[in-house]
Structure 1
Amino acid sequence: MPGALLRQRFAAANAEDATTAVRSVLGDGAVTADGGVSLEILSAVDDGVTVTRIASSGRGVRLDTGPSPELVVFAVREGRLTLARSGGSADLGPGDLGLVPTGTAAELRWDGVVVDAVSIGASSMVRLLSAEGRPPRLSDARITPQSPELGELWDRLARVLAGTVLEAPDLYQRDLVRAQMIDVLAATTIEAFDLVDRADSDLDRDEAVLQRAESWMRERLGEPLAVSDIAAAAGVSLRGLQLLYQRKRASTPLLHLRSMRLEAARAALLRGTEPVGAIARRLGYTNLGRFSAHYREAFGEAPSATQRAGA
C-alpha cells in the first residue's frame, strides 16, 4: 500500500541544473539567466494536485514552460515576477496570483522570488467544466483573479490544503477530506479566474437547457438534489449551468430550486388540506424552522398566515 505523500527536493546552482529540476516537477521547461542563478524546489505530489515551492535568486532569470497538461496557478510569496502567456502578461508581487491554463505555454521572469506553483489535475477541472467528460476548451482565461476577495479565498484554501491536509498523515490518508478539498480549490480556481468552456457560450441552447433542468427539478421537489444532479439532467457542465442561471434567472440553480419548492408550498397552503409540517416535509424540508424562515423571506408572512388566508 502506498505510504505518505510523494515529496521531491531539488537544488541547482546553474541554469542547466535548474532546468533539470524544473522539468522534474513541471514536466517541461527551460531556465536561463543574464547572470548566475540558484534555485531550490520542494514539491508535494498527490494524484489530484501538486504543490511546488520555488525559491530562486539571480539576475534576469527566465523560466519558459511548455504547454502544461495541468492547470497551474502561481502564487508569489516573496519578491516579484512577470508572467506572460497567450492573452497578455501580469506583474505579480507578494500575495498575487497568476494562472497558466491547461495546454498553454508561459514565460516567467524574476531576479529573486519565492513562488508556489499549484498544479490542479485535469479530472477535477473536467468534472466541473465539461458535461461530456472531455478536456474543456477555455475561452479567454484570465491571468489574474477577477476580484481581490476571490483571490484571497483561493490563497487561503491553497494554504490549508498544502500546509494542513497534505502535511498531516492522518488527514492525507482520508480520501473524502483530501478529494473534497481539491475539488473546492478547483471550483474556487474556476470562479476566481472566470474559467468558461467555449461550449458553455452557446446561447442558442439556453432555453432548452433551462426547460430540461426545471422540468427535472419540478418532478423531484421533495428529493435531496445536488447541483451536479441538475447539471447532468440538463446535459451541461456544473459551470455551464451556473452561468446559464446567472444570465437567464439572475440566480443560481439551487436558489431557483428553493423558489420552486416555496411556490409549491404556497399553493398547497392556500388549498388548506395539509398541515404546515406535512407540506414542508413533502417538499424536502426536514427542519420546519428553516422552512418557515425561507417562506417568510419569500412571501413576507408565516406559512400559517397563508394557510389561514386560504381557509
Structure 2
Amino acid sequence: MPLDELSDLLERHVRPDLTTGIEGVRVCRIDHTASAVSSMSGKVLAVIARGGKRLALGDQVYGYGPGQYLVASIDLPVTGHVIDAGPGNPVLGFGMTLDPATIAELLLRAGPGDLPRSPGTTRPGIAVSDAPDELLDAIVRLLRLLDRPQDRRTLAPLFKREILWRLMTGEQGDVVRQVGLADSSLSHIARAVQWIRENYTRPFRVDEVAQLSGMSVSAFHRNFQAVTAMSSIQFQKHIRLQTARLLLANSPNEITRVAHRVGYDSPSQFSREYRRLFGAPPSIDALRVRAGAGNVGAALP
C-alpha cells in the first residue's frame, strides 16, 4: 500500500530541520498534541500519512488525516493544531512547495481535454481531499530517492512535475491550476495579499488595495473573501497579531512597544484582539510560545 510505504519513508528520513535534500520538499514527525500554532501557509501541498491536523483560516476549519492532502494556493495566515498524536503514534507528514512556473509550463503543455473544465468561480485558497493512489505513488517514488542520492538530481524534478500534474488533474485541480495562471482572480488577490503583508502596520482604504489588484471594489471584496475566508481588514489584523506574537516571544515584557510596532495605537485594543485570536493575553501567551509549545505543529500546514 502506498500509504504504508509513505509512513515508513517519512519516519526514516525525518530530520530536526525538516529538510530532505530535495528542493522544496520537507517531511515532519510530531510526537504529541500541542497548542494551536499560527503561521503563514505558503503555496504548498501537505499530505498526512499518520495522525491528523486541523487548520483554521478565518471562520473556516479544515481537518485532514491519513491518506488526505491539503493544498494552499496562496500564502495565508492560518492556525494549525495537531491531533491524534502520542507516544508511539506520531503525526507524519509530507510537504512540497507549489511552483507557479512549473504549473504554468504544465498548463501550456496540456492538450485539449487533458484538464478538467474550470467552474469559472474563485475558489478558496485552501482545500482538502482524499489522496488518490496515483498521487501517493508519485510521492513515494520521490521520497525513495532519499535512499538513492545518485538518482536524485535527475529524477526528483520529474517526480515533482508528476505530483503537480496529479494535483492539477485531480479533485482540487482548479485550485492548483490558478497558481500558474498570470491573470487569474487568484493572481489579483495575491498582489493584494503581498501588499498588505508588506504594509501591515499602516492603515489603508479598501478601494486603494482594490485598484492595486486591478479589480473593482465589489469584485475585490467578493474575491478576497472567497480566497482568504476573511475581509482585507481582518487579514491585516491576523498579520499584525502573528507578527506581534513572534516579537513577544523574544520580548514578553514589552507589550506596549510591540503593539505600537505592529500598528496598534491602543494597547488595550491590541490585548483584546490578541486574546481573541490566540486564546490567552499577550503576557501569558508569549511565555508559552517562548517555552516552545507554540513551535510544535508548525512544520506543515
Q: Which has the larger radius of gyration?
A: 1
Provide the TM-score with structure 1 as the length reference: 0.41
More RCO (CA 8 Å, sep 6+): 2
Higher strand share: 1
